[in-house]
Amino acid sequence: MLEVLNLRKTYRSRGKVVEAVKGISFSAKLGEVFTILGPNGAGKSTTIKSILGLVLPDSGSIHVNGINIMKNRKKALRYMSAVLEGNRNVHWKLSVKENMIYFGGMRGLGGKRLRSRMEEVANLLGISDKMDQLAGKLSRGYQQRLAIAIALLPDTPVILLDEPTLGLDVESSVEIRKVIRELAKVGKLVLLSTHDMKLVENVADRVMVINKGRVITLKKPSELKAMFKSRSYKIVFDGSVSEALREKLSDFGKFVEDGGEITLVVNLKSADEIYDLFDILRSEKPTISSIESEELDFEEIFMKIVRGDEE
C-alpha cells in the first residue's frame, strides 16, 4: 500500500546545506501498524510530510496504492488521512458534530454517508456523548480523539498518526492504543510516528528507527528485544568485590549496591564480549550468587540503537 524508495531531501539553513533525509526506503502493507522512531532532527517529520505531499523531496519516489504522490498528489491523497502533531487539527469554536460535518464535507462526504460515518467513528473513539460540546472546551485527550475521528471519516486505507498520545493522560493514551489496534485489525495501514515507547511496545508490528536521515534498523519489536536481551545481564555477587576486580569489570557495565548486595548490571556492546567477561570472572573467581538475563524496556532498546550499540 505504501512504498518509499531512496527518499532524499536537503534544506538550506543560514547558508548551510542540511541533509534531512539521506536515502530512506521502506514499504508497508494493509493491516499493520508501521512505526517510525527517531530522536529530534532524525528526519521523521520530513519523511512524513513527504509522504503526504507537503514537502517535495530532492529525489526518490513515494507510491501509495501504486500512485506516485509526486506526480499525482490529489489522486494519491484519496487513500490517506492524517493527524499531525503541533497542527490545529480541529476548530475550537465549533462543536464536535460541527467539526465532523465541516471536515467530512472537505473530504467529499455528505448526507446519509456522512451521518453514518460520524456515528461509527464517534462510537469507536468514545465521543458520542460529546457531540454538542465545543471542541475548545474539551480536555486534551478528547480533542485528540476528535482529531483522530475526523481523520477516520473518509475511511481511507492509510491513516498517518504523528505523536497521537503526546500530552495525554494514562487513560486517554490507553484508549488511543485500543483504537490503533482496532484500525489495523479491520485492515487499515496505520503509519505511526511517536516517542511513546509504551505505545510502540503495545501496538507496533514493525519499527523503523531512523537517525541523521538514515534508516538504522527495521524490525519487529520482538526481534529488537531479542537482539539486546542476550547482551544484558545482572550478576549478583555473594560478598565483597575487590577494587581491582571492579576496575576490570567497569568496561562491561556498572555496579549497583542495595542493602549490602552487590550487583553488576552488564550491557555488552556486542554478543562476543560475553567471552571476555567470563574470562575475567574465571580468572578472578569471585563468589557469584546468580546471573540473570536482564529484560530491557523499549526506551532503553531505542537509545541503544540510536547510539549504534546494535552493530
pLDDT digits (tens, 9 = 90+) for 252-263: 888 888 877 899
Q: Mean pLDDT across the chain, nearest whole number?
A: 87
Give dist(CA 305, CA 38) in Å, integer: 10
* pTM (predicted TM-score): 0.76
Q: How far is CA 310 from CA 43, 200, 298, in A?
A: 20, 19, 14
User: Among 108-112, 207-211, 212-216, 297-301, where is mean pLDDT lowest?
Assistant: 297-301
Q: What is the DSSP code string of 259-288? A: TTEEEEEEE-SSTTHHHHHHHHHHHH---E
Check whether 226 has a pLDDT greater than 50: yes
Please indicate whether residue 281 or residue 191 has the higher confidence score (pLDDT). Answer: 191
Domains of the chain by range and CATH? 2-225 (3.40.50.300), 227-307 (3.30.70.980)
pLDDT digits (tens, 9 = 90+) for 55-90: 999 999 999 999 999 999 999 999 999 998 765 788
Q: What is the pLDDT of residue 228?
A: 59
Tell me the pLDDT band of 131, cut-offs 50, 70 and 90. Answer: very high
Tell me the pLDDT band of 190, cut-offs 50, 70 and 90. Answer: very high
User: Among 104-108, 265-269, 272-276, 307-311, where is mean pLDDT lowest?
Assistant: 307-311
183, 190 Cβ separation under 8 angstroms: yes
Average pLDDT over residues 280-289: 87
Number of H helices, E strands in the chain: 11, 14
pLDDT digits (tens, 9 = 90+) for 83-95: 987 657 889 999 9
Check whether 311 has a pLDDT greater than 50: no
193, 36 Cβ separation under 8 angstroms: yes
Q: What is the DSSP code string of 192-260? A: EE-S-HHHHHHH-SEEEEEETTEEEEEE-HHHHHHHHHTTEEEEEESS---HHHHHHHGGGEEEEEETT
pLDDT digits (tens, 9 = 90+) for 139-160: 888 999 999 999 999 999 999 9
Check whether 15 has a pLDDT greater than 50: yes
Check whether 204 has a pLDDT greater than 90: yes
Average pLDDT over residues 186-198: 89
Give dist(CA 165, CA 175) in Å, integer: 10
- Cα torsion through 92, 93, 95, 96, rounded to 10: -20
